A and B are shown apart, each in its own frame.
Chain A
Amino acid sequence: MAKKTKTLKSPAASSGPSLRPLTGGGQGAGGSAADYTPSAHQVNAGYGPHFDVLEVGHPDYVALINADTAFWVLSPRAEALDYLLGGDLPKSYLEKEAKLAGDLETVRFKLLPSAVYFNPTERCNLDCGYCYLPREARRTGHDMDPARLLEALAKLKEFFVHTLPEGARPQLVFHGSEPLLAKDAVFQGIEKYGDYFRFGVQTNTILLDQEAIDFLKSHGAGIGISIDGPTAEVADRTRRTWGGSGVFAQTVKVLDDLIGYPGLNIITTVTRENVRSLPELVDFFHAKGVTNALLNPVRGTQLGGRNLMPDQGELAHFFFQALDRTYELFEQTGRKLVIGNFANLLLGLVAPGARRLMCDISPCGGGRCFFAVGAGGEVAPCSEFLGLPEFHGGNLFESSVKDLMATMAFVQVTSRAVEQLEPCKRCAVRHFCGAPCPAEVYALNGKLSAPAPMCDFYAAQARYAFRVIADGRLDALLWDGWQDGLEEIVVM
């Protein structure tokens, strides 16, 4: 795909009026009208736009970033000061500032809720070390019966029909815990509401037999599976039955059965147990024919996850190596393996309004773009908050969704913005990170007003993303057709 890369004119080659320093130009100490330059035409003072300079670790480029609008220019190193101090960049930027700001404003504050995590049971047949749901509930919790589940879906449909544009199909993902422990209820829901919701099931595959696969495929439902390593030795360190047996072999069998199904989703939770295997995992997935996967760093919302959080430096090293490997494999084979969470960050840089995942933006998507429903009907801003009762807005069967979303439990999450946080408020990449995740932040700090526990990693990831763009690898690490339906903003 042809990449539309806009290039700025070199300041030296600019035909526009050049700006002089206030005391420069041989005007003498007394100054004159010619010394005056409107502040808007210079950076970093008065009404002039503010640009941060960010070292991105590239031999040829540095980034100049207006953090408020997430606008950036990769400038050749030797010319960065010329761009900053010349007149063209601030002038051209200000001409488009409203559009840039509006674009970011929309994705940060104006999206409608359109997706739901729905846990039809508290129970799980696995005891994964990092689960964000409390262990006791997973062992002995209860299920939502079919009638109750259908009642819940009716309430959710009623909400979305009245809030989303006509024709929009909200996404509803049966999640867990293990949703197939409530298979009858789940399948009845899909059967009845399959024409309205875009359904998905995130399953550990233990109960995903051929009949279940056929049912889900015939209803066009997405199927998400979790694989935490390229070998049983790695993957089974974190994903085990209550008795301690690994499930890698079963999961790979299902993966082989589902390859080629367009609704297949794969998640790897990255922990200290598998972080060093990420490059090999990319090879494994690519060899299997996987085209999309998430490599999500584990959240420390619950103690188990907290104990498995990888070292940030190690995470950055192996995560970037894994991304490099996807590029090498693409070059060698012409076949992409898109790492969705990183692709989403790239979109955050080049098309913020087109991003899909809402963890790396603030406010995050929890309670704003999506919410979570637990097996008892409890509603929280995100599934990460289901294990934190103080963030339950109420119960779906007792309150309207609209009222639930207006509760303080939701509002304190939906109003958490990087502009309020230290050190985020002065960080150049604050809108490429979003200071995730509020549930994790709360669990670790006892308050929401703290930066991301993985702050260093997210900053490093933004730098890596700029290097990807500088090296012309953007298209290779994004989905084909990522520009479809988008409108380009040409600043200069």
Chain B
Amino acid sequence: MAKDKSTKKPISIRYTCKPNGDQVGLSHYLMADAKK
């Protein structure tokens, strides 16, 4: 599947997230939140 040097650009995406104490969701439930 080798190709000539392509015009495609490499892609790399990475973000960090500070833990906030209540971000965990449950796989037997989901994470949608009813806001009071």
Contact = CB atoms under 8 A, between A and B. Distances in A.
Interface of A: 3-8, 10, 12, 59-61, 71-79, 83, 99-100, 103, 106-107, 110-112, 114-115, 117, 164-165, 167-171, 173, 175, 194, 198, 200, 202, 217, 219-224, 261-267, 292-294, 296, 340-341, 344, 349-351, 353-354, 356-359, 365, 369-370, 383, 469-470, 474, 483, 485-489, 491-492
A8 B12 contact: yes
A6 B12 contact: yes
Q: What 9 A-B pairs come out closest when comparing CB atoms?
A: A263-B34, A168-B21, A356-B25, A353-B17, A265-B30, A220-B36, A486-B15, A354-B17, A351-B15
B24 A103 contact: no
A198 B19 CA distance: 17
Nearest to A116: B26
Contacts of B21: 112, 114, 164-165, 167-168
A114 B24 contact: yes
Contacts of A296: 27-28
Given A5-B13, A77-B1, A488-B15, A202 B28 contact: yes
Interface of B is mostly: loop
B26 A171 contact: yes
Given A6-B12, A492-B12, A168 B31 contact: no
B29 A110 contact: no
Contacts of A173: 26, 28-29
Given A60-B6, A165-B21, A370-B26, A491 B14 contact: yes
A483 B18 CA distance: 12
A7 B10 contact: yes
A351 to B, nearest CB: 4
Contacts, number: 199
Interface size class of B (residues with CB under 8 A): 35 or more
B12 A72 contact: yes
A134 to B, nearest CB: 16
B19 A111 contact: yes
A365 B22 CA distance: 13
Nearest to A104: B16
Contacts of B25: 115, 171, 340, 344, 356-358
A175 B24 contact: no
B25 to A, nearest CB: 4
A74 B33 contact: no
Contacts of A164: 21-22
A77 B24 CA distance: 37
